[in-house]
Structure 1
Amino acid sequence: MKLSNYLCLGALALGALASCKDGQRSATNPGKESSTTGVEYNTEKGMQVSSYKGIPAGPGLVFIEGGRTVLGTQEEDVTLSHDNMERTVTIASFYMDEAEVANIHWLEYLHYIRTDSAEEFYKSALPDTTVWARDLSFNDPYVTYYLRYPGFRYFPVVGVSWLQANDYCTWRTAKVNEGLAGEINESSSKKKGGGLFSRKKKGDTAAEGTAAADSKNRISIENGNTLPNYRLPTEAEWEYAALALIGTQEVGNENQEEKRIYPWDGRTTRNAYGRKQGQFLANFKRGRGDYAGIAGSLNDGAMITEQIYAYPPNDYGLYNMAGNVNEWVQDVYRPLSYQDVEDLNPFRRNGVLDPADKYDKKGYQSLIDDKVRVYKGGSWRDVAYWLSPGTRRFMAQDSATATIGFRCAMINAGSNK
């Protein structure tokens, strides 16, 4: 064998040893030096690479494992809208709030923005409590008490528009990451005897590595110590999470052999098993004038909304993905979204295909434009048909009702699982 071949084999062996020593490179184990240039990280000449253990835990969130699924109407299209035909798509894994945003959460939001925002913005964030008022119904007490009375703390916030819900997501992102920044500052202070940005005297030996240490501790996207943005889920994400077909899937079987009409098994809205057999699984309107059943034998037990944890969760651990309140999603409404959007993480945004000028809103022949948003899930005031995740409706993004709330979602950054 030629000497050059021996040298090549030797180099390969050394490379293998180095690889074994550091282990396989990954986001959580990038190694001490670059695998392409050999330059050592976190030195004067090298790039700063912080330690990373994975995305921080987001308060209130549940992990939703993504995958291939069939979205669309699961029952007869009784409204003849034909706006959510079945199609196969893939949804990337993401996070979603385990329950709807409640009154106490919105009051917390109002508390903070009143102290650090303009009065004008605070007023714009107030829910429209008059959504409870009805000319021929005595719902007047809810106008005053539903949002602020302690007994309603964990009832879903309503009277919130799509625009207000988006503002809340923006604030929540900033507030949660502010908390993470405080944890980083505290940790850094304990290690170095000062705050994260504390000044060191010139010539202080402890200060020599401060720049590198601080750059690794600061809150930033590159350091992986921030959470991605809280946001409204896309319609596809919401529908996928609501169905929770992971609960019907056999391990090792790639065929999705069972479907669901609702976020639970079976074709009825009652619990079919155990001691709670016969009890309703969601808060909805059973029939004309029947919101809760007969005293002493109530059906879903709620005349209006109910607490956000009042009914059994689905197989992803999500509460009230059917009934209680409808929920805003990100998408602009179009009846043909199912055939226009992509088959990977489908999402309908403004100004792409199917333009608004095709719909005669000015001539009062249509309600559709680029400012109407989809809501899903059914509510305390809806019949069971709307509890199916495949159903969809729309409303103007600056409007609000007593039947629509929301929950937040977040991408699963840096992982396919």
Structure 2
Amino acid sequence: MKNLVVALIALGIVSCSSRESNQSNTNTEKRTESEVPAGMVYIPGGTFTMGSEDREANPTEGPEFAVELSGFYMDVHEVTNAEFQVFVEATGYKTIAERPIDWEEMKKQLPAGMEKPADSVLSPGSLIFSPQPNIANLNDYSQWWAWLIGSDWRHPYGPDSDITGKENHPVVHIAHEDAKAYAQWAGKRLPTEAEWEYASRGGMHQSFAWGEELTPEGQFLANFFQGTFPGENTIEDGFEKTAPVKSYAPNAYGLYDMIGNVWEWTGDWYRPDSHFQNKQKAITVCRNPTGPESSYDPQEPKVPKRVIKGGSYLCSDQYCSNYRPSARMATAIDSGQEHLGFRCVQDVIN
């Protein structure tokens, strides 16, 4: 069981051209800049500096390079439990966390020779935050993530939990396939990493979406972890887990919770050298980049991963301080976790 948990936890060439076909949505309704869809805001096109070479930045956030984007629409907030429930009731969709685990598919991502666990272990479930006592080594995240059968978007903290009273919280335990299915149903798509970062910055280039201080004058502007990670959360911002959407002020584009609350999927495959490759290919500016053509993470080369952005309520200044717009992480496309959700975008077609 322990090996399975660790395995589940563990669970290239850059293009600067038009959006990849697997990210496009042929059913996207044609709208102009003046026809903003309900629940979305218009993000004007423009040029910005993507990535970061600041001292706090992870090496995969650099180098910085110039990006030019066309205008697009973006969901004002993360997709909520209520919104996702409408989708499920309309389509009968089952998320990956609700489906039996396919061992033949899973073992392709695992070391050769690993024995198949008992069928009872390969039951539907997902990853929940469950820190062990007296954690000293923050490099071993298996000490605070646990595979729990019966965890899914309807049961975010295990089979005995539910989303009653959390209808306005972001939906979680969402794998990439789930997010993409919702987006296609809604006539939208997932944002590229560049679109997400550009929108998150709100027209500025600062350490945080609102300035250079995480908590200016002691004010909390996003839902993240306070205290000693992972076992002592002082909950100074008022939320131990997810917060209802729109709990904090929006950024300059009118977007809520682009930082903290839950991680958000993008459509881009992950490579640690994506920014380097983009900068090499772009002569002066990279126009509407769509990310690598395939996934590669040298730490887990067999596991296909996509980029997630924004950090979550588990991000701390002691560990995973990814509440910066430039921060980027890689997550296995079949992974669902209690702090992973998404929002959508839509093209402007004149």
TM-score higher than 0.5 here? yes
How far the C-alpha of 1:377 sits from its partner, in A, is 0.6
Aligned to 2:62: 84
**Residue type of the alignment partner of 1:376:** K
2:253 — aligned with what?
A: 316
2:224 aligned residue? 284
Go from structure 1 to structure 2 and tell me whether the alpha carbon gap of 1:373 and 1:104 turns closer, same or farther (over 3 Å shift).
same
Unaligned runs of 5+ in 2: 1-30, 100-123, 133-143
Structure 2 residue identity aligned to 1:323: G
Does the aligned pair in 2 maintain the 1:74–1:260 contact within 8 Å? no
Match of 1:166 among 165, 173, 180: 180
Contact between 1:282 and 1:322, CA under 8 Å: does it hold in 2?
Answer: yes
Give the whole-Å Cα distance in 1 for the aligned partners of 2:128 and 2:166: 14
Looking at structure 2, the residues matched to 75 and 401 of structure 1 have their Cα atoms a distance apart, in angstroms, of 29
**Which structure has the higher relative contact order (CA within 8 Å, separation 6+)?**
2
Instruction: Provide the rounded CA distance (Å) in 2 between the counterparts of 1:383 and 1:162.
Output: 24
Partner amino acid, structure 2, of 1:264: W
Q: 1:366 to 1:315 in 2, by over 3 A?
A: same
SS of corresponding position for 1:95: strand
Give the one of 240, 243, 246 matched to 2:198: 240
Contact kept, 8 Å, 1:261 with 1:388, in 2: the verdict is yes
Task: Tell me the distance in 1 between the aligned counterparts of 2:32 and 2:198.
Answer: 28
State the secondary structure of the residue aligned to 2:62. coil
Decide which structure has greater helix share: 1
Going from structure 1 to structure 2, the CA distance change for 1:325 and 1:129 (only over 3 Å counts) comes to farther
Q: State whether structure 2 residue 130 is matched by structure 1 residue 134.
A: yes
Q: Is the 8 A contact 2:240 2:313 kept in 1?
A: yes
Distance (Å, rounded) in 2 between the aligned partners of 1:327 and 1:65: 21
Q: Is the 8 A contact 2:168 2:244 kept in 1?
A: yes
Aligned residue type for 1:326 = W
The separation in 1 between residues aligned to 2:174 and 2:213, in whole angstroms, is 31
> For 1:198-226, what per-residue CA distance to the aligned partner results, in whole angstroms no more than 9, with x for missing partners?
xxxxxxxxxxxxxxxxxxxxxxxxxxxxx
Give runs of aligned pairs for residues 213-224 of structure 1, distance below 5 A. Answer: none
Kindly indicate whether residue 158 of structure 2 is the aligned counterpart of residue 143 of structure 1.
yes
Other-structure match for 1:105: 83
- In the TM superposition, 1:24-103 aligns within 5 A as 56-73=35-52, 75-77=54-56, 79=58, 81-103=59-81
Letter in 2 for 1:330: G
1:261–1:389 Cα contact (<8 Å) kept: yes
Structure 1 pair 307–56 and aligned structure 2 pair: CA distance change class (3 A): same
For 2:213 and 2:46, the matched residues in 1 are separated by 26
**Conserved 8 A contact 2:50-2:64:** yes
Alignment partner, residue 209 of structure 2:
263
Task: Determine whether 1:372 maps to 2:298.
Answer: no
**CA distance in structure 2 between the aligned counterparts of 1:156 and 1:129, rounded to whole angstroms:** 19
> Post-superposition shift, 1:369?
5.4
Q: Do the aligned residues in 2 keep the contact of 1:284 with 1:291 (CA within 8 Å)?
A: no
Distance (whole Å) between structure 2 residues aligned to residue 319 and residue 396 of structure 1: 25
Distance in structure 2 (CA, Å) of the matches to 1:406 and 1:376:
9
For residues 172-215 of structure 1, the C-alpha deviation after alignment (integer angstroms, 9 at most, x for no partner) is 12xxxxxxxxxxxxxxxxxxxxxxxxxxxxxxxxxxxxxxxxxx
Q: In the alignment, is the contact (CA less than 8 A) between 1:293 and 1:300 conserved in 2?
A: no
Aligned to 2:345: 409
Note if contact 2:229-2:316 (Cα within 8 Å) is conserved in structure 1: no
Task: Give the strand-richer structure, 1 or 2.
Answer: 2
Structure 2 distance, partners of 1:350, 1:105, is 31
Q: How many residues align?
A: 268
Supply the AA of the counterpart residue of 2:209. P
Could you list the per-position Cα deviations for residues 87-107 of structure 1 after superposition, in whole angstroms to 9, with x for gaps in the alignment? 111111111001000111111
1:122 corresponds, among 83, 86, 94, to 94
Change (3 A) 1:400 1:291: same
**Cα deviation 1:326-358 (Å, max 9, x = unaligned):** 11101001122113235001121424xxx85xx
Kept in 2, the 8 Å contact 1:147–1:153? The answer is no
> Which letter maps to 1:347?
T
Aligned to 1:331: 268
Is the partner of 2:322 in helix, strand or coil?
helix
Q: Residue in 1 aligned with 2:13?
A: none
SS of residue in 2 equivalent to 1:375: strand
- From the superposition, tell whether residues 299 and 105 of structure 1 become closer, same or farther in structure 2 (CA, over 3 Å): same
Matches within 5 A, 1:358-369: 366-368=299-301
C-alpha distance in structure 2 between counterparts of 1:155 and 1:292, whole Å: 23
C-alpha distance in 2 between matches for 1:123 and 1:323:
23
1:397 equivalent among 333, 338, 341: 333
1:152 maps to which of 145, 159, 166: 166
Whose radius of gyration is greater, 1 or 2? Answer: 1
SS at match of 1:231: coil
Identity rate of aligned residues, in percent?
31
- Using the alignment, how far apart are the partners of 2:338 and 2:32 within structure 1? 42
CA RMSD in angstroms comes to: 3.0
Find out whether 1:346 has 2:304 as its counterpart.
no
Aligned 8 A contact 2:259 2:324 in 1: yes
Is the 8 Å Cα contact of residues 129 and 144 (structure 1) preserved in structure 2? no
